[in-house]
Structure formats: structure tokens, C-alpha cells
Structure 1
């Protein structure tokens, strides 16, 4: 029987030419997107691109990676189907093509939540999209008005229901800070898609009650996004963040919307998208102006410092750090919103973010000073996850300055604090630690080799043997 001839993929070739890419550049762009989703694709090279153009369909998640890479280069959304990369719907939709700004937010929240709960692998396959960062703030009021018209279900919703959601939020938030985003993540999603979504569709005695319910629902949805982010499920986190932003919009809570925009900026800068992070952080300040408290304004401002640091703007980085410190100095903790208090944003957190901004800028001594300040002022037991990450960041900065023994001591402390913490970011810090150590070659000192063995055991088992 004659073998079927493959058909040259002209659509893909046209898109690659429009990107002005060589085959090597195309492969590099695909690998960059894959790395954001913990998939290195080290073997992806120019020969793979040539095979795809010749008609070989890429396997696994690669069609999505390729479409996202091309979307970023061209500045418009390109789907795998546009590139002739799918065979009869072989790649299940990741909901990326939905226009999240046309339906009522309760409906879309349930759509994402149920996909997360019921579709095996959805959390792992949902891609982070730069196009989804285009938040239509200029259409805010129109979208909110459209959402208000969708209310009016059978359930009567009042202060008791609002207080119940707030109490659940407090419990979930406290556990998240101590045990990491992987702890009870799906329990948060289950509560959102059942109880909370039902309340959002209910009848409210007053518009004040409606705004209060949508506001606390936005906080809970933000927490679902934050837990996904901390679990390194970046595409999923982005979808929850967008729903949180929409719910804050419905509540006319611009400060809370700024809080979510700030989280989106945090995610963007951690993934290496400095310009997008700066735009989102600036939007959080602009949108919440006149509504945000001093501590909230400080939090939004320090994320602009992260954006400036990632884009190598030394002057603006320094100015943003100083401005954030000034705003925080004027804060009164008892007057801050619940989401500021729950996140533990204080001088300690500001110093951690400032340290990372200075690290990205290349000011390693300045970064070390800020990170040390963060460590010595934090309640390490209540905020175990961020304590471990800050220790790891400090060690990384010390290693980059050639002080390996000090770095090793802090990396060991970080692993000590990680025991029992379910966090993709914590695991990422351990992987980075091993990469740093292995880059030093075969002449690694014994104390550093012992740390590397301990890190390897942690990545295998989530804990370390006592005798290592």
C-alpha cells in the first residue's frame, strides 16, 4: 500500500516568514514558551521546524507553544488551527479562545472552575498568553452594566452569605501562606464553583450587598489564581486572575482590581516579560488612583519597580522603591483592606520585592541588603512559603557574588523551611539552586556537594533524609 504523501504546511511557513524568523529563531521562541510551563523541550531545534513545515504535525503541547510564540511576535492572537497544526480536533480546547469580557463573570468563573475540576490535565495544558493581558479598562463601565443585567436568581443573598464567604476566605488564605499554593487548591475552586457562583447569581436586597458579594468573590477568585500561580500553573492562574478582575469590576472596587492587576504584573515579571509587567503595574496605580489605601498604593508601586528593574531602568527603579517606602510609611494597618492584611504586605514584603527588582537590575549588594531586611523582619512561621523563597533569593544573590559558603548556608535554611510546603515556586527555587551549583563544575566543594544531594532528594520526595 502506497504511503500517503505529506502536504507542505504553507500556513505555518507564511506565519514564520511574517515573524521574520529563521528556523533557529522559531525553535528558540517555542522553547521559551515551553519553559514557562515547566517543559524545556531541549531537543527542539531548526530541524523540527523544517519537519513541521514539511507537513509533520508537532506532538503534545507543541502546537500550542508554537501558536503562542507566533502570537507574541505578530502582536495578535494566532490559534493552532490557524496554522494547520491540528488533526480533526486532536488538541482539546484550553478555553483560550473565549472572549472573557462578553459574558457575565459568574458564568465564566464556573466555566474555568469546572474545567479545572473535571477535565484531566486542564491545569497543566492551559497556556499563559500575552494577548490575554490586554485588559479593556476603557470599557469597564459598559461591561459592569452588562453584568448587572444578568442578576436575579432564586437564592436570596444578604449579609450572612457575604460573611460566610469572608470567613472561608480567611481560612483558605491563612493556610495558603503557611503550606503553599498546592495545599487545598481544588477545595478553593470547588467552593467557588458551587457556593460562591450560586450567590453571585442570586437576588440581593440592596446594591451595597451585591457589590460586597462580588468583591469578596473577586478576592476568593484571586486566591484561586494565586494558588495556581504558586503551583506554577501559569495559564490557569491567568484565567482566574482575569475572572477576579471582572468580579472586582462588577463590585466597582477599583482598589481590589488594582490588587489583581498587580498580581498579573508579578506573574509577568517572574516569567520574564518586563514590559508587560510594567504596563500592568502602572495600570494598577492608574485604575486605583484615589481609591487605594497607602499600603495598597505601596504594593502597586513596588511592582512598577520590578518592571523597571526588569527593563534595566536604574533611575526609575530607585525612584519607585523610594515612593513605595514613602507610601507604606503613611499606612495604618487597621485601615487597610482585608486583602492587604491577608497577603501580609508590610515593610517585610516590600523589601523582598525591592530586593528582586535590584537583583534584576544587577545591583547585587543592594539586593542583598533588601533581602536580608525582609528575612529578619518576617514572621517565618505564619508566612513560611515567602520566607523560603526570600532565603533562596538571598542565597542566589550571594552565589552570584562568589560567596558560595554563605549561599549554601541560606539554601540549606530554605530547604529546612520548605518541609511540608506544596509550592511550585519553592520547587523552582530548588531547581535553580541545583543549576547554580552544577554550573560551578567538578571542583565543587564538599559542603556544596552535600547541599546538591539534599536538593536532589527534596525534588524526588518533597523532603530530605535526616542523614544527608
Structure 2
């Protein structure tokens, strides 16, 4: 996680020199098409996983969006297309993280930062930095996660309650992983205040709700050593979820819940949670979920004499082998 992150001042308004194709001209309709396709790809990623959706996103980037970026256009259209490409590039990086292709994800993320600057889109720039912090945190790299989350906060172009929650919730998790307890708890309280003030409507990217806050709280508590509290917060998360929440994250967070239930000795509860995951797992094409499921047999191996644990472990093994 030591890669160099281009600062906003270094990328704003700047585009790599490229030859304009005079045979092709684009307008607002092409920008609208890229935006609409990004939303569809995001829906597919949410429902089926990054390994399913990323090849489509990558192909669309290369075959359609890259030629649009080289096409003749008005200055306003060029700016809008570049910003739309930045968002798609960010989403493709997010999918790569789900696959477990972390180096590739970082390449997409850095390119998205450059495109966001070229398109003068500070909101996407901020979201990408926050996404990079999430990636670092999920890999257990607390200090880089703090650096990236703080960079996102510094770059944030707005101070709406939901944006503040979106950023400070991630700062809290990053601080907790880095062992900065006071900063973690302060950031979590700020995220809670911001959620309480936030408007009800969620955006396609960056929606932060009470359910998201409960998950952030669970992550902070676990990183600070409070596994029981983390379990309670994850249960709060599931109670607060609604139809807009991702199917994949439901399974990922349920897997974390099961691991933490086992960690505190609640074997049968952990197996029940894992069984609910395994019932839905075949429909998800996610490298992260593959890794979560692959851990189940080894985590349950000390309990092989327990019939419930043995059945859950065997079910996981069968699905892994398919």
C-alpha cells in the first residue's frame, strides 16, 4: 500500500496528451450512455459479485469509453465524459478488490484519480481515496488506511451530513486498526451525528445509512478488541438493512458475524449463520466470498466431534469443490 497517490492539485484540469480522433464526435448522449451503463454494472456487481461484473466493465472501458475520451467534443462534453469515465474506472477497481486482484484494483483507482482531476470532479476523487482506504483496511493495513481516509476528508468538496458520515465512518475504522482508540471513537461519534442529520435519499455511490454506521461500529469495536460489542453491532446492521443494500455485502458481513460468534464460543449460532451464507453462496461470483467460505472448514476443525459443526464444514467443502 505504498503507492504514490496523485494530489488534487497535481491532476485537476490536466489530461494526458492524446491525439483527438477527428472522425468521431461525441455529445451529451454518449455521456448519458456511459453513466447509465455504470449504474447497470454497479447493480450487477452488487447482486452477483465483482468476478462476474468486472470483465464487462473492463471491456466497456477499453472498447467504448477509451475511444470516447479520444473523440472530438465540446469542452463541456469532454469534461463530463472524463468525469463519467473516472466513476466507471473507480467502480471497476472496486470490483477488482472483490476479486482479490488488489494490484489491478490500485491501477484502476489511480487512473480514476487522474480522470477525476482531468474532469474537475472532486467528489469522485474523494470517493476513490476513501475506497482505497477501505481496501487497505480490509487487508489489515491500518496506517495506510488512515492516510488515505484523511486524504479523502481533506479532498472532500462538500460537507453534507451524508458525505461527512461516509468519510468519518471510514476514518473511524482506519484509526481503530492503527491502534488510535481516541481518534477512532471520536470519528465514530462524528459519523453518528452526521447520519442523524443526513437526508433520507441515498446515492448510487457513497450512500451512508444507519445500517452502514452499524457496520462501521462493528468494525471499530472488533479492531479495538470488543468482539461481543462487534457482534451486537453487526446484528444491528442486519436489522437496519433494506432492499437497497447489496446482496454480496450481506453474505460478506454474515461471514464476519459467524467468525466472531465462533470467536466468543457461540458454536451453534456461528454454524447457523454460516449455513445461511452457504445457502446463497452459489449465486455470488466473488473472490472475497470464495475466501470466506474456504476458511470455514479450518475454523471448524477443532469442533469436528460436534455434529452441527461437522455438517456445516462438509457443506462448505462440497461448495468449494464445485
TM-score interval w.r.t. the shorter chain? over 0.9
Partner of 1:183, secondary structure, is: helix
Distance of aligned partners of 1:445 and 1:142 in 2 relative to their CA distance in 1, 3 Å threshold: closer
Partner of 2:65, secondary structure, is: helix
| Structure 1 consecutive aligned stretches of length 4 or more whose deviation exceeds 6 Å | none
- Pairing partner for 2:148 from 269, 280, 283: 280
Q: Does 1:315 align with 2:164?
A: no
Q: Distance in 2 between matches of 1:196 and 1:293?
A: 31
Task: Give the number of aligned pairs.
Answer: 321
**Equivalent residue number for residue 135 of structure 1:** 5
Q: Does 1:393 align with 2:262?
A: no
**Equivalent residue number for residue 158 of structure 1:** 27
- Deviation string 1:68-100 (CA, Å, 9 cap, x unpaired) is xxxxxxxxxxxxxxxxxxxxxxxxxxxxxxxxx
Partner of 1:399, secondary structure, is: helix
- 1:50-89 to 2 correspondences below 5 Å: none
**Equivalent residue number for residue 189 of structure 1:** 58
Per the TM alignment, residue 294 of structure 1 is displaced from its structure 2 partner at its CA by: 2.5
Partner of 2:205, secondary structure, is: helix
Q: Does 1:435 align with 2:306?
A: no
**Equivalent residue number for residue 71 of structure 2:** 202
Q: Distance in 1 between matches of 2:32 and 2:271?
A: 46
Residues 384 and 417 of structure 1 are in contact (CA less than 8 Å); yes or no, is this contact kept in structure 2?
Answer: no
Q: Distance in 2 between matches of 1:417 and 1:379?
A: 17
Per the TM alignment, residue 382 of structure 1 is displaced from its structure 2 partner at its CA by: 5.6
Over aligned residues, Cα RMSD in angstroms?
2.0
Greater gyration radius: 1
Greater percentage in helix: 2
Distance of aligned partners of 1:198 and 1:218 in 2 relative to their CA distance in 1, 3 Å threshold: same
Per the TM alignment, residue 287 of structure 1 is displaced from its structure 2 partner at its CA by: 0.9
Q: Distance in 2 between matches of 1:301 and 1:434?
A: 36
Judge which range, 359-368 or 290-299, deviates more: 290-299
TM-score of the superposition, structure 2-length normalised?
Answer: 0.93
- Deviation string 1:159-218 (CA, Å, 9 cap, x unpaired) is 1011101111111111110111111321110100111111112223233x3332112111
- Deviation string 1:219-270 (CA, Å, 9 cap, x unpaired) is 1111111111101111111111111111111122222111111111111111
**Equivalent residue number for residue 366 of structure 1:** 229
**Equivalent residue number for residue 49 of structure 2:** 180
Q: Distance in 1 between matches of 2:203 and 2:72?
A: 26
Q: Distance in 2 between matches of 1:420 and 1:391?
A: 15
Q: Does 1:299 align with 2:166?
A: yes
**Equivalent residue number for residue 329 of structure 1:** 196
Gaps of 5+ in 2: none
Distance of aligned partners of 1:325 and 1:424 in 2 relative to their CA distance in 1, 3 Å threshold: same
Per the TM alignment, residue 379 of structure 1 is displaced from its structure 2 partner at its CA by: 3.3
Residues 297 and 314 of structure 2 are in contact (CA less than 8 Å); yes or no, is this contact kept in structure 1?
Answer: no
Q: Distance in 2 between matches of 1:279 and 1:172?
A: 29
Residues 384 and 418 of structure 1 are in contact (CA less than 8 Å); yes or no, is this contact kept in structure 2?
Answer: no
Per the TM alignment, residue 361 of structure 1 is displaced from its structure 2 partner at its CA by: 1.6
